[in-house]
């Protein structure tokens, strides 16, 4: 690295450096100079590749993003300074339901795919209720428009934060390339038998009208009520069940008790008639029926909850679905209700929402005398789609799945082994992964009945009889990807044959967004499109992400990589914690405690906010704490001022650190370098910051004060001081550069050429021949502290002269102090310094003012 001569650079040091305004200045310079551009010519061992999380474009970035992205950036900057070419892409996840929901709320619209495209459409100025219905194409256009706006805001925030991503490696999960990768990977899965389609009960969100996957579930407490309701045995006697879903009695296909339950054993094999509807259902047994729950005998509906699905599957029961995908009961009387009374009763419920039907059903049951007592209010836990507002229902539908080990012990074992191949930071996060894999109950449901997403790239032949052949999907050639089967005809067919007997139909679904984002390494690294790049960066070195999406993003990425590449997607997974408010609650919009990141960056400066973020250990949930940002800002100011001071003293001649105090300081610094390096090697940016920061403050408080007098002068020791100050400053700046990129770059520019972020990480070799005995600075700091204490106790200025100091200490310490005698005397304002060898250490101070 080049260095300018003293007279040139010193003029560039501002008289009063301030931390404000550094962000735009340096963000622009870094971009213009390509400071963080990936060098793809480097060989794999010289590359560090990062599978950066593409933030979901469904609103604003929040503090959690600032927090975890700062961690990754610190690692990236460290690796870059270590000499590696850092592959650090950025993407946006703007595909899927979260984006649709954002668009719906933002513009006040809903997609109605039956509407024709309106070329002159403009969204409502103000969202109103009810929402305006728009065509699918208009809806997608709105998604495109809003995501681009959101992404521009995200980009601005990330640049202001100082992320050292390579902005030229940019992707969006709805762009053509991502679609191509997602479809190609899907077709490969299909070709190898890892993807399949099946008609089965699925968890269904009645508002979004789509199936959802196990990984997207969330439990929520709901107020409900237990109803005791009589079915009727053949002899006319009642048999009471307990249920929270009386409106689903119409879908009842059996009553179930435990095989060992004596109360019901005699009934097994007989039938019971449902109340009101008079539908005869068998009494059956199953191990899952709990004798101690309710009356010990339960109705099995198709389907009220996941237990119903298990019973239905295990006992081979019929399907009597009455709840539609919009959450309402069917409007026609189901054919399995055959009695006139039953038909009349159902008419009362037809077309109602589940909630309305429940209320009416209870009234009807009360009238008929089948309701025993009053419903008992309870609170119970119900499955929700994590982004949904109403409880999930279960409906039967045709969906696409990818194997994930949920129904295949051998695959499960393979995926667990993949988990063991990865280094987890912190290590216990591996347990969460294993726990999730071991708890899977079924394959990964990837199809969604939505609009904004990557289409499932298949068609189905329609027979001459008009029946669709779902068992033999027609697939496109990989060279035709990306493709939309809704607009392109199936290979070998004409568009005119769409939807006709003897023709074809397109699969109507899109893939869930995780089915695309599980391929971020492949998307970013040019899988199949750029084999040279792919070979250089894949498997990647690091996947940084938060712990709440281990079950989704992390797991799915491992699964796809396992199938496609027979390898792990990355060697390290660094899992960040969450930001919680000071009450330890997760911060969320609904609690109204969300702070906008940009306001904080502007108020405290990006380095200060990064300082706060870096104080949270890897994996640890961290409190939002503005006080930490103030401390960070203070550190930034200190760096600027101390640098100005150290650089303003002079340059010194090369290679002449002669004074014991200076060599002692550098020896201490060498140890700090070692600590920070090993911390960063373990991805522990927090420890690296902690060690560096305390060393830096101590350096300012003690060493700078001790060396000041000598450095101001032009005596024989001045050159040593200047040289040591500059060496130390260079090291401190570089140690702090990954964490405080703006301030350190600013100072670097005062006296060095090139970016500090392209300079080399401090190494022990830099100190070769420059270090001395640690004890010298230690001892001098100790005595200086005692002198300060004496002055402070006497409530006197630190400038107060000291008549005499008498130090008593063991001989080694006295010998060390002798080596710093002049510096110490000057720093303390001591006129007479006496030292005596003693077993006990003590410092006697006689202040001039009190003498």
Partner RNA sequence: GGGCGUUUAGCUCAGUUGGCUAGAGCGCUUCCCUUACAAGGAAGAAGUCGGGGGUUCGAGUCCCUCAACGCCCACCA
Q: Which residue among 347, 797, 842, 850 contacts RNA (CB under 7 A)?
A: 797
Task: Verify binding: residue 431, RNA, rule CB under 7 A.
Answer: yes
Closest CA to 511 of 96, 792, 45: 96
Q: Among 394-402, 535-543, 547-555, 802-810, which window interacts with RNA (CB under 7 A)?
A: 547-555
φ, ψ (nearest 5 deg) of residue 225:
-150, 140
If the CB atoms of residues 510 and 613 are measured against RNA, the closer one turns out to be 613
Ordered DSSP codes for 604-645: H-HHHHHHHHHTSPTT--EE--HHHHHHHHHHHHHHHHHHHH
Rounded least distance, CB 255 to RNA, Å: 9
∠ CA 187-192-195, rounded to 5°: 60
Using CB under 7 A as the binding rule, the residues of this chain from 679 to 708 that contact RNA are 687, 690, 694, 697, 700-701, 704-705, 708
Q: What is the nearest approach in angstroms of RNA to the Cβ of residue 793?
A: 6
- Cis-peptide into 130, omega within 30 deg: yes
Non-local (6+) Cβ contacts of 370 within 8 A are 229, 230, 238, 275, 276
310 vs 344 by CB, closer to RNA: 310
| Nearest approach, Cβ of residue 676 and RNA (Å) | 11
Q: How far is the CB of 75 from RNA (least distance, A)?
A: 18
- Reading the block at residue 638, the tokens are 């200190």
Residue from 115, 217, 595, 598 in contact with RNA (CB under 7 A):
217
Nearer Cβ to RNA, position 509 or 702?
Answer: 702
Q: Which is nearer to RNA, 14 or 716 (CB)?
A: 14
Residue 198: φ, ψ to 5°: -155, 150
Nearer to RNA by Cβ, of 648 and 844: the residue is 648
Q: List beta partners, residue 807.
A: 835, 843
Of 94 and 308, which CB lies nearer to RNA in the complex structure?
A: 308
299 in contact with RNA (CB under 7 A): yes
Check binding of 795 to RNA (CB under 7 A). Answer: yes
Q: Quick one: CA torsion of 749, 753, 755, 758, rounded to 10 degrees?
A: -150
Give dist(CA 65, CA 93) in Å, integer: 14
Which residue, 121, 122, 63, 53, is CA-closest to 93? Answer: 53
Rounded to whole angstroms, how far apart are CA atoms 255 and 267?
10
Window 238-267: residues binding RNA (CB under 7 A): 241-245, 256
Binding residues for RNA restricted to 579-638, rule: CB under 7 A = 580, 582, 584-586, 615, 617, 620-623, 625, 627-628, 630-631, 633-634, 637-638
Contacting residue, 3, 14, 20, 367, with RNA by CB under 7 A: 20
Which residues 115-174 are close enough to bind RNA by CB under 7 A?
A: none
Of the candidate residues 207, 219, 260, 467, the single one contacting RNA (CB under 7 A): 219
CA atoms of 587 and 590, how far apart (whole Å)? 9
Please identify, using beta-carbon distances, which residue of 562 and 687 lies nearer to RNA: 687
**Of residues 153 and 378, the one with the C-beta less far from RNA:** 378
Q: Which stretch binds RNA (CB under 7 A): 28-36, 109-117, 430-438, 511-519?
A: 430-438
* CA atoms of 310 and 300, how far apart (whole Å): 10
The CB-based long-range contact list for 722-725 (8 Å cut-off, 24+ gap) reads: 722/649, 722/650, 722/651, 722/652, 723/651, 723/652, 723/653, 723/654, 723/655, 723/656, 723/657, 723/662, 724/657, 724/659, 724/662, 724/663, 724/665, 724/666, 724/770, 725/646, 725/649
Tell which one of 50, 642, 737, 845 touches RNA (CB under 7 A): 642
**What is the smallest separation between the CB atom of 382 and RNA, expressed in angstroms?**
6
Cβ proximity of 96 and 453 under 8 Å? yes
Tokens linked to 451: 């609009």
Q: Work out how close the CB of 380 gets to RNA at its nearest, in angstroms, rounded to a whole number.
A: 4
User: How big is the site for RNA, counted in residues (CB under 7 A)?
Assistant: 90
* 400 SS3 class: strand
Q: Is 848 in the site for RNA (CB under 7 A)?
A: no
Interacting residue with RNA among 51, 73, 305, 651 (CB under 7 A)? 305
**Identified binder of RNA from the candidate list 10, 115, 200, 226, rule CB under 7 A:** 226
> 825 in helix, strand or coil?
helix
Measured from the CB of residue 591, what is the shortest distance to RNA in angstroms?
Answer: 11
Among 47, 174, 249, 289, binds RNA (CB under 7 A): 289
Shortest distance, position 226 Cβ to RNA, whole Å: 5
Q: Mask: binding to RNA, 805-824, rule CB under 7 A, as x and -?
A: --------------------
Residues 750-789 that bind RNA (CB under 7 A): 785, 788-789
Q: Per-residue string for binding with RNA, 650-669, x by CB under 7 A?
A: --------------------
Q: Which of 552, 602, 142, 536 is nearest to 385 (CA)?
A: 552
Task: Name which of residues 363 to 382 contact RNA (CB under 7 A).
Answer: 380-382
Q: Which of 325, 547, 821, 826: binder of RNA (CB under 7 A)?
A: 547
Residue 233 to residue 228: CA distance in whole angstroms: 16
What are the DSSP calls for 187-243, one per residue?
Answer: HHHHHTTSEEEEEEEEEEETTTTEE--GGGEEEEEEEEEEEEEEEEETTS-EEEEEE
Nearer to RNA, 429 or 505 (CB): 429
Stretch that binds RNA, among 14-22, 25-33, 341-349, 410-418 (CB under 7 A): 14-22
Strand partners, 461: 469, 504
Closest approach of RNA to the CB of residue 429, in Å: 7
Q: What is the per-residue DSSP string for 368-386? A: HT-EEEEEEEEEEEEEEET
Asked whether position 746 contacts RNA by CB under 7 A, the answer is: no
Is 297 an interacting residue with respect to RNA (CB under 7 A)?
Answer: yes
Nearer residue to RNA within complex by CB, 20 or 39: 20
Q: Give the residue with the Cβ less far from RNA, 486 or 631.
A: 631
Question: Cα separation of 609 and 69, whole Å?
Answer: 12
Dihedral (Cα; 362, 368, 369, 374), 10-degree rounding:
20
Toward RNA, which CB reaches closer, 347 or 792? 792
Query: Alpha-carbon torsion 205, 208, 211, 214, what sign?
Result: negative
Nearer to RNA, 147 or 299 (CB): 299
Burial, 735: exposed, middle or buried (Cβ in 10 Å; 0-12, 13-18, 19+)? buried
- Please, are residues 310 and 252 in contact by the beta-carbon 8 Å criterion? no
| Nearer CB in complex with RNA: 498/551 | 551
Chosen residue from 355, 435, 832, 836 binding RNA by CB under 7 A:
435
CA distance 227 to 240: 10
> Per CB under 7 A, which region of 273-281, 318-326, 480-488, 640-648 contacts RNA?
640-648
Distance CA 791, CA 611 (A): 34
Choose which of 71, 77, 383, 734 interacts with RNA (CB under 7 A).
383
Q: Give the burial class of 441: count Cβ atoms within 10 A of its Cβ; 0-12 exposed, 13-18 middle, 19 or more buried.
A: exposed
In whole angstroms, the minimum distance from the beta carbon of 741 to RNA comes to 19
Residues 483-512 that bind RNA (CB under 7 A): none
Residues numbered 391 to 410 that lie near RNA (CB under 7 A) are none
Q: Which is nearer to RNA, 6 or 106 (CB)?
A: 6
Q: Does 62 bind RNA (CB under 7 A)?
A: no
What is the Cα–Cα distance from 752 to 739, expressed in whole angstroms?
19
Instruction: Find the binder of RNA among 248, 253, 298, 329 (CB under 7 A).
Output: 298
Q: Tell me whether residue 602 or residue 766 sits nearer to RNA (CB atom).
A: 602
Q: How far is the CB of 704 from RNA (least distance, A)?
A: 4
């Amino acid at each position: 690295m080049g260095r300018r001569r003293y007279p040139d650079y010193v003029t560039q040091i501002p008289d009063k450096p301030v931390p404000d305004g550094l962000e735009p200045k340096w963000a622009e310079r870094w971009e213009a100079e390509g400071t963080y551009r990936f060098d793809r010519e480097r060989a794999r061992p010289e590359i560090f590749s990062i599978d950066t999380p593409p933030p979901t474009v469904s609103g604003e970035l929040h503090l959690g993003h600032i927090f975890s992205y700062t961690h990754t950036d610190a690692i990236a900057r460290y690796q870059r300074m270590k000499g590696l070419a850092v592959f650090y892409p950025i993407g946006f996840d703007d595909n899927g339901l979260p984006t649709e929901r954002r668009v719906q709320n933002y513009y006040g619209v809903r997609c109605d795919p039956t509407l024709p495209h309106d070329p002159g459409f403009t969204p409502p100025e103000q969202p109103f209720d009810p929402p305006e219905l728009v065509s699918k194409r208009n809806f997608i256009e709105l998604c495109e428009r809003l995501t681009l706006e959101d992404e521009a805001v995200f980009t601005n925030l990330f640049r202001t934060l100082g992320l050292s991503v390579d902005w030229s490696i940019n992707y969006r999960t709805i762009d053509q390339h991502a679609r191509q990768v997602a479809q190609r990977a899907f077709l490969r899965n299909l070709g190898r038998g890892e993807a399949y389609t099946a008609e089965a009960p699925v968890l269904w969100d009645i508002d979004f009208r789509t199936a959802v996957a196990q990984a997207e579930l969330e439990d929520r407490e709901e107020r409900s009520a237990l109803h005791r309701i009589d079915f009727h045995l053949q002899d006319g006697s009642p048999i009471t069940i307990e249920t929270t879903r009386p409106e689903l009695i119409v879908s009842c296909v059996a009553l179930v008790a435990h095989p060992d339950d004596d109360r019901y054993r005699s009934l097994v094999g007989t039938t019971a008639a449902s109340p009101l509807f008079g539908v005869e259902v068998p009494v059956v047994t199953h191990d899952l029926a709990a004798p101690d729950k309710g009356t010990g005998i339960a109705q099995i509906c198709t389907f009220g909850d996941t237990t119903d699905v298990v019973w239905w599957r295990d006992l081979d029961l019929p399907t009597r679905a009455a709840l539609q995908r919009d959450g309402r009961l069917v409007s026609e009387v189901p054919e399995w209700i055959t009695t006139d009374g039953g038909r009349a009763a159902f008419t009362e419920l037809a077309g109602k929402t589940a909630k309305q039907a429940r209320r009416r059903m209870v009234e009807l049951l009360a009238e008929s005398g089948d309701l025993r007592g009053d419903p008992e209010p309870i609170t119970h836990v119900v499955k929700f789609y994590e982004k949904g507002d109403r409880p999930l229902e279960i409906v039967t539908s045709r969906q696409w799945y990818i194997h994930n080990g949920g129904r295949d012990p051998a695959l499960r074992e393979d995926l667990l082994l993949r988990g063991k191949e990865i280094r987890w930071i912190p290590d216990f996060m591996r347990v969460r992964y294993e726990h999730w894999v071991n708890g899977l109950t079924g394959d990964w449901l990837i199809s969604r009945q939505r609009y904004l997403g990557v289409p499932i790239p298949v068609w189905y032949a329609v027979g001459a009889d008009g029946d669709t052949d779902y068992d033999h999907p027609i697939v496109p050639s990989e060279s035709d990807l990306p493709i939309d089967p809704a607009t392109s005809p199936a290979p070998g067919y004409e568009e005119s044959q769409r939807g006709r007997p003897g023709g074809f139909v397109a699969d109507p679904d899109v893939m869930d967004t995780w089915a695309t984002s599980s391929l971020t390494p492949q998307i970013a690294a040019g899988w199949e499109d750029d084999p040279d790049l792919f070979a250089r960066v894949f498997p990647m070195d690091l996947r940084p992400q938060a712990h709440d999406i281990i079950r989704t993003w992390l797991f799915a990425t491992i699964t796809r990589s396992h199938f496609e590449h027979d390898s792990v997607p990355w060697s390290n997974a660094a899992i960040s914690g969450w930001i919680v408010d000071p009450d330890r609650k997760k911060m969320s919009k609904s609690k109204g405690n969300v702070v906008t990141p940009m306001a904080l960056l502007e108020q405290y400066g990006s380095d200060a906010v990064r300082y706060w973020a870096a104080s949270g250990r890897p994996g640890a949930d961290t409190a939002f704490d503005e006080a930490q940002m103030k401390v960070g800002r203070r550190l930034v100011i200190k760096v600027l001022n101390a640098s100005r001071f150290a650089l303003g003293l002079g340059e010194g001649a090369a290679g002449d650190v002669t004074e014991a105090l200076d060599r002692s300081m550098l020896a201490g610094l060498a140890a700090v370098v070692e600590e920070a390096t090993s911390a960063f090697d373990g991805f522990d940016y927090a420890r690296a910051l902690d060690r560096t920061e305390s060393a830096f403050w101590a350096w300012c408080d003690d060493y700078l004060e001790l060396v000041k007098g000598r450095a101001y002068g032009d005596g024989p020791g001045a050159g040593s001081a200047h040289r040591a100050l500059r060496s130390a400053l260079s090291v401190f700046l570089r140690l702090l550069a990954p964490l405080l990129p703006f301030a350190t770059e600013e100072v670097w520019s005062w006296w060095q050429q090139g970016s500090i972020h392209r300079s080399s990480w401090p190494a022990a070799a830099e100190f070769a021949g420059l270090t001395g005995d640690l004890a010298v600075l230690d001892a001098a700091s100790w005595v200086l502290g005692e002198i300060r204490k004496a002055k402070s106790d006497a409530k006197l200025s630190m400038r107060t002269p000291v008549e005499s100091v008498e130090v008593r200490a063991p001989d080694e310490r006295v010998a060390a102090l002798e080596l710093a005698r002049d510096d110490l005397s000057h720093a303390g304002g001591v006129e007479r310094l006496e030292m005596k060898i003693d077993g006990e250490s003590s410092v006697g101070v006689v202040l001039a003012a009190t003498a």
